[in-house]
Amino acid sequence: MSVVPAEVLPGSALPVAEDVCDAAELGPRARLWPSLAAVYRAQLSRARVARIPLLFVATFQSIGIMILMRGVVDGGGEAQAVVAGSSVLVVAFVALNLLAQYFGQLRASGGLDHYATLPVPPAAVVLGAAGAYASFTVPGTIATAVCGCLLFGLPMANLWVLVLVIPLSGAALAGLGAAFGLLASRPELATLLGQLGMSAALLLGVLPADRLPTVVQYGRDLLPSTYGVDALARSFDAHPDWALVLGDLGVCAGVGVASLALATWAYRRAAVR
């Protein structure tokens, strides 16, 4: 009995196999912006119930600090620094502290494996989670700034600067918080790093810079949130120097890009382990 080559048979198996291989190929990975929006909505809905009470804690904490400082500072530039620092402290509490805890727990529980199986770019996971957590800071930051202006008698005409201060400071701090959580070997260490970062934002951001020792002032320049504090504080002047305000916000933006890039690299590093 002779053997007939497969390629001469009608409807041979070879083209079928090629079609099966073509059908088995994975589709293209999702694009960044649609993926980011999906992750943002998912994180926002999951974190809403658990994080809102903590947001109240952050807001009351900042308002309480301003009330305590009311009997210490004399007004003027010091009052501007206290109000601006207390307002940005709400951002630090959520974007830095809570985000470090979230990614630390996500890594320890194996939650990163779930995201790794999805055709979602790593940057979308980091940016989506950071954006969701930073969104919770908006009402608390605005409430703190308004209460501070009423408490210290500061003008509120330029509080629109918060529209820039919140996202730019939030991006810089959220990137650091995510990196802390993803690079920490244990969730307890991630919590510790987040607490230390928030303490630095409290001490270096709320206290007037001219009252700090010279060495500590150099350390203040290394904390990205202090540039958002300075931008907001300068907006309380009768005639703000908008060039300096934009310069401070530009530093926040640059550090935000760098810190989110670091968090994306940390995510890739943690996801492959």
In a domain, 186, yes or no: yes
Measured CA to CA, the distance from residue 193 to residue 271 in angstroms comes to 20
- As to burial, measured by CB atoms within 10 angstroms (0-12 exposed, 13-18 middle, 19+ buried), residue 94 is buried
Q: Please compute the mean of the pLDDT values over residues 94-99 and round it to a whole number.
A: 87
E strands within the chain? none
CA distances from 180 to 167, 174, 191, 204 (A): 19, 10, 9, 19
What per-residue confidence (pLDDT) applies to 30?
Answer: 66
Total structural domains in the chain?
1
For residues 62 and 87, is the Cβ–Cβ distance under 8 A? yes
Question: Global pTM?
Answer: 0.84
Domain that holds residue 75: 30-271
In a domain, 3, yes or no: no
In a domain, 104, yes or no: yes
In a domain, 1, yes or no: no
What per-residue confidence (pLDDT) applies to 248?
Answer: 95
Q: Please compute the mean of the pLDDT values over residues 40-44 and round it to a whole number.
A: 82
pLDDT at 22 over 50: no
What per-residue confidence (pLDDT) applies to 236?
Answer: 95
Stronger pLDDT, 246 or 271, i.e. the higher one:
246
Tell whether the torsion through CA atoms of 232, 237, 239 and 244 is positive or negative. Answer: negative
Tell whether the torsion through CA atoms of 105, 260, 270 and 268 is positive or negative. Answer: positive
Tell me, what amino acid is at 196?
L
In a domain, 153, yes or no: yes
Q: Please compute the mean of the pLDDT values over residues 5-31 and round it to a whole number.
A: 48
In a domain, 63, yes or no: yes
What per-residue confidence (pLDDT) applies to 250?
Answer: 96
In a domain, 15, yes or no: no
In a domain, 17, yes or no: no
